Amino acid sequence: MAQAAATQPAQNEGTRALAAVMHGAFFALLAASLVRFLIRHPGEARTPWIIALSVTLALLYVLGPALGAAPTLRRLCWLGLVIATWVVLVLLAPSFAWCAVPLFYTALRTLPPRAAIVLVALLTTLVVIAQLQLANGPFDPNLLLAPPAVAALATAVFLHMERQAERQRALIDDLIRTRRELAATERREGTLAERQRLSMEIHDTLAQNLSSQQMLLQAADRTWDTDPATARRHVRTANEIAARGLAEARRLVHDLAPPGLDGGGSLPDALRALDAGPEVTVRFHLEGTPVPLPERARAALLRIAQGALANVREHSGARTAALTLSFLGDQVVLDVADDGRGLTAPDPARAADPADPTRGHGLPAMRARVSQLGGTLTVESTPGEGTVLSASIPLEPRP
Instruction: Give the per-residue pLDDT at 390.
Output: 93
Instruction: Give the per-residue pLDDT at 9.
Output: 54
Residue-averaged pLDDT of the chain: 78
Instruction: Give the per-residue pLDDT at 6.
Output: 44
Instruction: Give the per-residue pLDDT at 352.
Output: 42
Give the whole-number percent of the chain exceeding pLDDT 70.
81
DSSP classification of residue 207 = I
Instruction: Give the per-residue pLDDT at 1.
Output: 45
Instruction: Using the predicted structure, report yes or no on whether residue 263 has a pLDDT greater than 90.
Output: no
Instruction: Give the per-residue pLDDT at 259.
Output: 53
For residue 287, what pLDDT band results from cuts at 50, 70 and 90? very high
Mean pLDDT, range 64-73, rounded to an integer: 73
The strand order across the sheet containing 281-287 reads 281-287, 320-327, 331-338, 387-394, 376-381
Instruction: Give the per-residue pLDDT at 351.
Output: 42
- C-alpha to C-alpha distance for 176 and 165, rounded to whole angstroms: 16
Q: Minimum mean pLDDT among 42-46, 140-144, 172-176, 296-300: which range?
A: 140-144
Instruction: Give the per-residue pLDDT at 350.
Output: 41
Instruction: Using the predicted structure, report yes or no on whether residue 355 has a pLDDT greater than 70.
Output: no
Amino acid at 215: M
Give the whole-number percent of the chain exceeding pLDDT 90.
8
Mean pLDDT, range 230-244, rounded to an integer: 82
Instruction: Using the predicted structure, report yes or no on whether residue 357 has a pLDDT greater than 80.
Output: no
Sign of CA dihedral 57, 62, 67, 70: positive
Instruction: Give the per-residue pLDDT at 397.
Output: 57
- C-alpha to C-alpha distance for 296 and 255, rounded to whole angstroms: 12
Q: Which residues pair with 90 in a beta bridge?
A: none
Alpha helix (H) ranges present in the chain? Answer: 2-40, 47-63, 73-92, 100-110, 113-134, 141-202, 208-223, 228-253, 267-272, 295-311, 362-372
Highest mean pLDDT among 157-161, 193-197, 372-376: 372-376
Q: pLDDT tens for residues 137-154?
A: 676 676 677 778 877 887
- C-alpha to C-alpha distance for 209 and 361, rounded to whole angstroms: 15
Domains of the chain: 2-134 (no CATH), 265-399 (3.30.565.10)
Mean pLDDT, range 171-178, rounded to an integer: 87
- C-alpha to C-alpha distance for 374 and 27, rounded to whole angstroms: 71
Nearest to 202 by CA among 238, 268, 255: 255
For residue 322, what pLDDT band results from cuts at 50, 70 and 90? very high
Instruction: Give the per-residue pLDDT at 23.
Output: 80
Instruction: Using the predicted structure, report yes or no on whether residue 349 has a pLDDT greater than 50.
Output: no
Instruction: Give the per-residue pLDDT at 334.
Output: 94
For residue 376, what pLDDT band results from cuts at 50, 70 and 90? very high
Instruction: Give the per-residue pLDDT at 26.
Output: 83
Instruction: Give the per-residue pLDDT at 399.
Output: 45
Instruction: Using the predicted structure, report yes or no on whether residue 196 has a pLDDT greater than 90.
Output: no
Instruction: Using the predicted structure, report yes or no on whether residue 398 has a pLDDT greater than 90.
Output: no
More confident residue, 11 or 54: 54
